[in-house]
């Protein structure tokens, strides 16, 4: 029994086709994460001090958590960030201050 698995076709906004599909998807995902961060007032890609519910405080650049490959448009429940390589969800943040 043969099964066929077609490729995803990612087309850029300019209509350019043939680019690396994974890279295009990552760019689309980064845009989605940036949009959420802007809506929530989070200084994405800026140096911050983040305090989490557990009481730990981290300093570093606030970035999307790259291992979160399957983020969906579910609001904060599926949205993960990281500071200094430490991943956390939005619901874990007590404070986030740009430094």
CA dist list (Å): 84 to 11, 30, 37, 52, 80 = 33, 18, 18, 14, 13
Does some domain include residue 67? yes
Residue 58: the pLDDT is 97
Parent domain of 75 = 21-98
Is the pTM here over 0.75, yes or no?
A: no
Is 7 among the domain residues?
A: no
For residue 61, what is the domain's CATH number? 2.30.30
On whether residue 74 sits in a domain, the answer given is: yes
15 domain residue, yes or no:
no
Answer for the pair 13, 47: CB distance below 8 angstroms, yes or no.
no
Is position 45 within any domain?
yes
Does residue 66 lie in a domain region? yes
Domain count, the chain: 1
pLDDT tens per residue across all 99 residues of the chain: 556 655 656 555 555 555 577 777 778 877 887 888 889 899 999 999 999 999 999 999 999 886 555 555 444 456 788 999 999 988 899 999 999
Identify whether the C-beta of residue 80 lies closer than 8 Å to the C-beta of residue 63: no
């Amino acid at each position: 029994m043969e099964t066929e698995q077609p490729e995803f076709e990612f087309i850029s906004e300019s209509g350019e086709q043939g680019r690396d599909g994974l890279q295009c998807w990552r760019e689309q995902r980064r845009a989605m994460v940036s949009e959420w961060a802007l809506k929530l007032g989070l200084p994405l890609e800026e140096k911050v001090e983040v305090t989490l519910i557990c009481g730990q405080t981290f300093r570093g650049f606030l970035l999307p958590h790259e291992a979160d490959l399957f983020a969906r448009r579910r609001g904060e429940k599926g949205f993960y960030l990281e500071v200094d390589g430490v991943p956390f969800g939005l619901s874990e943040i007590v404070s986030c201050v740009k430094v």
